[in-house]
Structure 1
């Protein structure tokens, strides 16, 4: 059975923290511009001493400023979203010297003294055994379906395979998906699969190319734009299968963000990069588990805005679980290299991953 890791807060009675000064702040003078010497956040819990009390922001992300709001709470805000008059925390040290404390070990298990200090195969590669990772994921997903919020970040590889589409639809239909983030391609080719049983003109089961099949995704784009929205297209053309269909049917929100190379795009695709980032951030802020699948750029973007923790309504500090799955070792290691140290990485193709997951959950 899944057991939520317990959070151990810092010992604020320790001499260096008890005697730490209050954090300094300075008001923003111009919208979108932080004061000099602003403090930039990490993915870890960070405490700030204000009026003699250590405070933890409930929602965080990397590379942002901390605003001491007028209601006394702390808000983590991207610098571009700062407003004139916002009180921004200052300081570049993180051990209490400036009233700022970075806490990296809140969920860390104590190392067993009997464990060997030198061991083989600690990296993550195609040769790694992932059986235990899958079992833990199954336990986590069952828990999160009842108690959490699971966001899936998906590349278009899902839409190229009939079984992967069916498996992901089963995940959505059975309540294991609370939000989906992707680009124009995933949605376009999934809807192409629903209408023509192809992706980029190739049959999603036999892989046989259809005559003039390269028009199929363009025709889908054109028809969705004529309908005015994806839900209206689904109704107009009696679409009854696929990932996006399942999201619409089950009222699961999705965020589609654009690329400079997009065809169309679909009406729901957000063309403004920063508006897209903000919409993704709003979805990530609700998430307690994030699973990124076969999309390097979306994975890195999501990893940068996903903290290692969140604070629940009852004040409990709990971890945010982050998974990244890709057939390319470079992609999963890229996420780790960017500081997302709490990520669980699995090197495999996502079609196999999702098929194993639905079977492990007993859905197919």
Structure 2
């Protein structure tokens, strides 16, 4: 026995699964055996008494989880940070543990009542006393970590838990003697795994597989070269043996029903302290403001979810709810993150929601020069679709040519500083680029409740419409198309060859002919198959009237390509009478610009197809400029490209028979988009019928 090591335990006289506060408890209420639990606890107690001094705290009736003493608090030297339990079902344990610590000479530190922290279940000391690993995400809040660093005078390394089965750090993470670590990597987010890898050498990391993880192999008690646990695979025992550890298994399955095992049942009260260790608090915090219809538009929920999902923690400091229906609300949210890098990612996403820092924290945007053409400085801010402003010399400057997935380039002109969104390849030496997230805000115009609910044909908010709602969406799109045309606006279509295959060519042609379309974007295929249909009556060799493949039809599209190449261009073929109808015919006849972006799979290609991807992107962006609406018709890749180039304020309609495609396109970030899951040919047919009804004499009189 090692006399210098002391462990606190609590007999399971009142243990049971009385409620559900973790996934392990589900289905196990009152299904544990008190007798078996007593026997298993005694087995662990006897093993530990052979290797350490075991102290006992008296169990209290009504608090069945007191047996899990790891959650009593966190001890280092004579100091203990008392737990603040997340769930009310365990909060009654706090005064009993506090009394035991005080009676045994410890200095007790208590966190604010609304700041959860669950002791040594979520805080594990490196076995050499060099730092403290602290978990957060389910039971403990990140904002508790600075208190730990201060009160215990130690460096705290924050790890985010992401799998609710491993709701406490000690369920998936076990520091071992001599700097070894037993852990289950999938329980942590990317940044936490990187931090672990940076601090623990590869040869000392013992990563386990899921079968061992769900048997709580990491929920082990380590004393010198002994590791006591519920159960381990032969492979894991061999791996531990290879580096000098002896595994002692003792069954604790009755406690697994409540989500605990060996480590949960123990609290080590004598921890190693490295003499040269001092408090290091790496937690960074920032207070941001949110304004708008925070509740009914769901902005506050999205913001708080982004903070947590991004690896941070939050406290809502002030929330001012609008008093009238048309009033906006505001909130001040204190955001914490384990590092500057994580904070910047969180804030970047909050900026997309329209969040700004408080006035006292406002600083100018950080600018760094472009040193190599087409290459941005490290940590450059990645733009979104939303109108953006940056703070320069204390003034907010609007960013021009807004688009997503670009950088903000700032340059001096005769009229002063100009900020502009640029894709990376267009950055020039001499410009400066915004880096990090300081001094950046997006501009949102809150929409009133009345506006959202009163417009008879208000355009659909973001979402995916099911088949049964297609006619409703068609009515709204038709009404919007009519409005845009009548005021001289601009509608661009990006379309795939499926439009032709499903019989939609005649309807798209009608839209172009009647002035509803001012630009067409696509690939080589839509033009080839449109011309094939208009000249040969087939699409991909299938007779469009009878729906059957024709003999030799597989050569039709190549014959078309060859013929157009002979004429030199689609426009020449139209002017020379080779093409007399169809989508491309109407584009040429009505001076509607079109861009065909090539790909590696294109046959021919047509002479009009731009095979230089850089040039094609630039031509796409030029056609999109000034658009009021974009119809995305069954072409995922081209539509995503268009979406990346398009700022907010442009209405988008994504139509595809595949729900996954529609969802992907509708999730690109625009709040003014809708997805329609249907056959694109049917959609275009219904759209044309609705527009014909709207433009009929009866409709005009009405």
TM-score in same-fold range (> 0.5) = yes
Partner of 1:238: 578
Matched residue SS, 1:44: coil
CA distance in 1, matches of 2:393, 2:488: 34
Q: CA deviation at 1:49?
A: 1.5
Matched residue SS, 1:84: coil
1:267-282 → structure 2 map (5 Å cutoff):
267-282=607-622
CA distance in 2, matches of 1:25, 1:73: 13
CA distance in 2, matches of 1:16, 1:204: 62
CA distance in 1, matches of 2:499, 2:550: 19
Match of 1:38 among 380, 396, 399: 380
**Structure 1 vs Structure 2 CA RMSD:** 2.7
Cα contact 1:150–1:176 (8 A) shared by 2: yes
Match of 1:52 among 386, 389, 394: 394
User: Using a 3 Å threshold, how does the CA distance of structure 1 residues 107 and 156 change in structure 2: closer, same or farther?
Assistant: farther
CA distance in 1, matches of 2:496, 2:402: 25
Partner of 1:298: 638
Match of 2:657 among 300, 308, 327: 327
Match of 2:371 among 21, 24, 29: 29
CA distance in 2, matches of 1:292, 1:15: 36
1:58-207 → structure 2 map (5 Å cutoff):
58-71=400-413, 72-92=417-437, 98-103=438-443, 105-110=444-449, 124=464, 126-145=466-485, 146-162=487-503, 164-207=504-547
CA distance in 1, matches of 2:466, 2:666: 16
User: CA offsets, 1:19-77, max 9 Å, x none?
Assistant: 72222212211001101222110122221112332222242111110112323332100
Larger Rg: 2
Q: Relative contact order: is structure 1 or structure 2 higher (C-alpha 8 Å, sep ≥ 6)?
A: 1
Matched residue SS, 1:147: coil
User: Using a 3 Å threshold, how does the CA distance of structure 1 residues 332 and 91 change in structure 2: closer, same or farther?
Assistant: same
Matched, 1:215 2:555: yes
Matched residue SS, 1:255: strand
Q: CA deviation at 1:286?
A: 2.5
User: CA offsets, 1:198-238, max 9 Å, x none?
Assistant: 11121112213222111111111001111111111223343
Matched, 1:358 2:688: yes
- TM-score, scaled to structure 1: 0.83
CA distance in 2, matches of 1:107, 1:250: 39
User: Using a 3 Å threshold, how does the CA distance of structure 1 residues 297 and 282 change in structure 2: closer, same or farther?
Assistant: same
Matched residue SS, 1:211: coil
Partner of 2:55: none
Cα contact 2:497–2:525 (8 A) shared by 1: yes
Q: CA deviation at 1:165?
A: 1.4
Q: CA deviation at 1:280?
A: 1.1
Matched residue SS, 1:70: strand
CA distance in 1, matches of 2:473, 2:446: 18
CA distance in 1, matches of 2:604, 2:409: 39
Partner of 1:266: 606
Matched residue SS, 2:625: helix
User: CA offsets, 1:128-158, max 9 Å, x none?
Assistant: 5234322221221112112321110001012
Cα contact 1:31–1:84 (8 A) shared by 2: yes
User: Using a 3 Å threshold, how does the CA distance of structure 1 residues 123 and 136 change in structure 2: closer, same or farther?
Assistant: closer
Matched residue SS, 2:600: coil
- TM-score, scaled to structure 2: 0.44
CA distance in 2, matches of 1:108, 1:206: 50
CA distance in 1, matches of 2:406, 2:609: 26
CA distance in 2, matches of 1:128, 1:27: 54
Cα contact 2:529–2:540 (8 A) shared by 1: yes
Q: CA deviation at 1:125?
A: 5.2
Matched residue SS, 1:130: helix
Give unmatched runs, 5+ long, in structure 1.
1-7, 93-97, 115-121, 309-318
Q: CA deviation at 1:161?
A: 4.3
User: Using a 3 Å threshold, how does the CA distance of structure 1 residues 15 and 66 change in structure 2: closer, same or farther?
Assistant: closer
CA distance in 1, matches of 2:446, 2:593: 30
Give unmatched runs, 5+ long, in structure 2.
1-327, 331-353, 454-461, 697-702
User: Using a 3 Å threshold, how does the CA distance of structure 1 residues 66 and 138 change in structure 2: closer, same or farther?
Assistant: same
User: Using a 3 Å threshold, how does the CA distance of structure 1 residues 234 and 15 change in structure 2: closer, same or farther?
Assistant: closer
User: CA offsets, 1:289-322, max 9 Å, x none?
Assistant: 11101011111111122121xxxxxxxxxx2111
CA distance in 1, matches of 2:471, 2:540: 33
What count of residue pairs does the alignment treat as equivalent? Answer: 330
